[in-house]
Structures are given as C-alpha cells and as structure tokens.
Amino acid sequence: MRHFKLSTIIVIFGCIVVVVSLLVTDLLISNTTSERIRANQEEKVQIVSRTVAESEIVKESLILQEKSEAIQAYTQEVQTITEMMFVVVMDMDGIRYTHPNPDMIGEYFTGGDEQRVLQGEEYVSVSEGTLGDSLRAFTPIYDNSGNQIGAVAVGISLENVELALSQSHRNIIEGSLLGIIIGVIGAILLAKYIKRILFGLEPYEISKLLEERSTMLQSVHEGILAVDDDLRITLVNKSARQLFKKAGLPDQPIGMKITDFMPNTKLDRVIETGESERDEEQTLNGISILTNREPLVVNNKVVGAISTFRDKTEVNQLAKQLTGVRTYVEALRAQSHEFMNRLHVILGMVQMEAYDELVPFIRKIIDLNNQEAESITKSIKDPVLAGFLMGKMSYARERNVTFTITNDTWIDKALSLEISQELITIIGNLVDNAIEALSTSNEKKLTLQLKESDGKLSIDVSDSGPGISKEYLEKIFEKGFSTKGSNRGFGLYLMKQSIEKLKGEFKVSTSEKGTTFNVVVDYASMRDGIQNDD
C-alpha cells in the first residue's frame, strides 16, 4: 500500500478546500453582484427618467404640443451627462418629441413595451428599439393638474450592462485565483510546521510507532505508570493493572489523581524536584514493590513523571536464585583451582620419582579435606550452607588466608532455602570483605565462629587486617558506598538487609589489629521460617 507524505496530503486537501470554497463564494458573489449591478442600472435609468418627467421644459412642450429644439437640446444634454443610450419624450399617442436621431422625431415609439406607461404605470423593461437592445425605464408625465400628458423613456445599452457584469466577474475570478495561490502557500507552510512538530515523521510512521509503543508497554513484565504535570494518571500498562488488582486497588485508574490513588506515592516529589529516584521500596496495601521514578522532561520543562515497579517478592526470589548460583560457582571454581594446583604438585613429584614424599603429601591432602569436611558437615547438616563454607575455605587458601571455622552449634536440615540463603548472604559478604581486607596484611588470619545461646545464633567474623577507618564506619552499610571503585558497595548493604529480615542485630569492633563483626539472629524463629511483614 502506497503511503502519501503528510505535506502532500495537507497541500492536496488544502487546495481542494480552498478551491471549493472559492468556487462556491464566486458563484454566490457573481449572482449577487450581477443582481446588484442590474438593480443599480435600473435605478439609474429610473432616476433619469423621473428627472426628465419633472422637467418644466418637457411638460410645457407636451402641453403646447410643440416639438421644439429646446426640449431636444435638454434631453440630449441629459443623455450625454448620464451616459444614457437614449432619452425619448412622447405624447399620449406614442409620438416622439425627442430622440438621439432627429429624423426619428415625430414618429411612433418602437419596441412594443410603451403601452403600460401611457396608462400611467412606471416600470423597467428590456426590449429592442431602433438603437438596439436596451434596458428601459418608463415614467409617465403629468401636468400641474395631475393629468397625464405623455411619458418619458430612458434607455441604457444592454451591452454596457453586460460589460459591467463581465468586469465584475473578472475581478471575482482574479481574486479567487489569488486566494487559491495564497491557500496553496499556506497549506505548504502548515505542512512544514506540522511536520516539524511531529519530528519529521509521516502519519503511517507515527501510527506504527504508536502500535509498537503500546505493544511494548503492555508486554513488559514490569508495571509502568505515568502521570502528567497535574498529577493525573495518563498511562497504566497490563502488568501494573494486575499488581493493582492484587493489592485491592482499582485496575483502571487513568484520569485519577495519583495522590488519591496512591497516597504514599513519590511522583509528586519527582515532578517538583525533577530528580530521578532509583530502586526505592514502596508499599501498596501491604504488597512491597521496588520502584524507579523518572521525570518526563520536554524542552527543559518537567511535563510529568513515569514510574516502573515490580513486586519485591519476585525480585527477592530472583536475587536469591542468582546469589545461590554465584555462590555455587565460586565454590566450585575455588575447589577446582585448588585441586588443579595439587595435581600439578603430584605430577611434578611423579616425574621426579619422589615416591617417598608423594605418599605423605597425598595423605595430608586427604586428611585435610576429611578434617575440613568432617568439621563442617558434623555440625552443619544443611547441604547448601555446608557446601558454601567448604567453598569459602578453598577460596581462602587460594588467597593464602588461614581460615578457621569454629562450630559451637548444631544447624540441622530444618532450615528452609530462604533462611539458608539469608545466612549465606550474611556470612559470604563478611568473609569476602575480610579476605579482601587481608590482601595487604602480612599476617592473614580469618576466623568464623557459629554459636547458639538462649535461642540466638551468634555469627562472629574476625580478621587480622588493618581495620576500618572511623570516618567510613557509618557509611560502609549504605548502598553503593565503597572506597574500592565504582560498581561496588553492595555487599554490606545486602548483609544488613538480610539481618533485618532474620530479626537480628549486629555490631562492629575495629582497630589497627583487625576487625570483628558480631551478628546475632533469632535462631528459634528461623526454624519456623522467615516472618516477612513487608
């Protein structure tokens, strides 16, 4: 299907509208003008005929029945001044007393339309006389006693009338053509202006973009809500409506004030400040969502705001899955790397035929692995947490860190996957931070102690690193804060969130000789699962 350009469509339709309008106008004006011109000509000849009928010279000649030169001279003068075709005075028998051609004086008036005036009627008619077709005005002439004594006929050439009509029509046509030209120019300028407003897009392109935008907005999994600068909701996609329905809110809020629909919204603040807000938590009738808010700016002016959000439960599940996968990958990588190093040592000893030293070396590896596995699996029956700790021990050895784990408690299989993931988040981030802090220390010792007391699980992570500066001690738990570069600073923030979910608390003690993190969580409630009141 061929698509016409917007400029072409506007010019064509603009021209059609202008032409039709001007043709209708021309028709109406032409008819009106023709009628007006004819009426003016009729009025003109009537005025002349009435004037001549009231002339004393004319009356006197008719009363005396004298065809004098005075009356002929008078009518000739009137004819010349008024540009009439003829001015004829006749008596009651229709005999001419005056005529532009003196030879016609004394003869009967011709045309056949003079009978009514001889009966006292005044009128205008069109007829053919001795001088050709003419528009004629007839006026009866009365004496001082009111008796009709004759009549006057004044005529104007129909050719002059048609000439006036043609000139008027020509002016209308010229004006119409000028109007069409101006209309075409205006349509072209209007098309360019509209095209500039539409960013150079053609109508079919706009239609396609609109369909793509609608499909895209409705297909994304995140909820999307937009408001204008008056805080009225202008857009809600399918995912947002589903989430609103789940929260017990109306699923068709378009047109409503966002402050009435969601009293705890922050979009009004975004419009006021013009600043974005990322990864903010918000509650919808008890449902916790994670939302991003962006101002909509057009020509450096905030014209609204848009919010994208998702059920935090889904985000948490995804994050836990990713955290678990990463944990397993890191553990396998560390163990694989350590195993490869030991294989290289064994290969070298075999090639050197140092069999006497090889046997004790292999036994030592076996005993070490058995000791580590036994010490962990003996008191930690949760396979996810046990496998995680074994991987961290391999990772610590890879970094030349002496990692000691002391288990003074019994963690059985009653832990749910959610709880073990929260413990992995807490322990993993503390251990990783400690190993990284030990990278510049001469003495690299790291201790993890798990201890249960009075229904509480205590997690102590101590290192022999340089300690934490006091100026950073309060900031290290903020999201995104790090002294080690960009895209860092999330570990301790996530650890703090996990502690809060397990209804625990923590404290930090640090000095130049090392740092100790003490985390205490409610171990009794952990057996029954996490009580999330988000």
- What is the spatial distance between Cα 286 and Cα 14, in angstroms, rounded to a whole number? 58
State the pLDDT confidence band at 483, using cuts at 50, 70 and 90. Answer: low
Query: Which of 15-19, 199-203, 225-229 holds the top average pLDDT?
Result: 225-229
Domains belonging to the chain, first-starting first, are 8-164 (3.30.450.20), 207-315 (3.30.450.20), 354-526 (3.30.565.10)
State the pLDDT confidence band at 140, using cuts at 50, 70 and 90. Answer: very high
SS3 content of the chain, % helix, strand, coil (to 5): 50, 25, 25
Q: Average pLDDT, stretch 440-449?
A: 87
HSE (side-chain half, CA atoms, 13 Å) at 221: 5
Nearest to residue 489, comparing CAs of 502, 500, 480, 499? 480
SS3 for 303-355 is: EEEEEEEEEHHHHHHHHHHHHHHHHHHHHHHHHHHHHHHHHHHHHHHHHCCCH
Cβ atoms within 10 Å of 317's Cβ, excluding its own: 13
State the pLDDT confidence band at 50, using cuts at 50, 70 and 90. Answer: very high
Higher pLDDT, 76 or 210: 76
Tell me what pLDDT residue 316 has: 59
Query: Are the beta carbons of 280 and 290 closer than 8 angstroms?
Result: yes
Average pLDDT, the chain: 78
Tell me what pLDDT residue 531 has: 42
Contacts of 514 (CB under 8 A, 6+ apart): 462, 463, 464, 465, 467
State the pLDDT confidence band at 219, using cuts at 50, 70 and 90. Answer: confident
State whether the Cα torsion 20-21-22-27 is positive or negative.
positive
Query: Are the beta carbons of 403 and 373 closer than 8 angstroms?
Result: no
pLDDT in tens, 331-367: 556 556 666 766 776 777 777 777 677 767 666 665 5
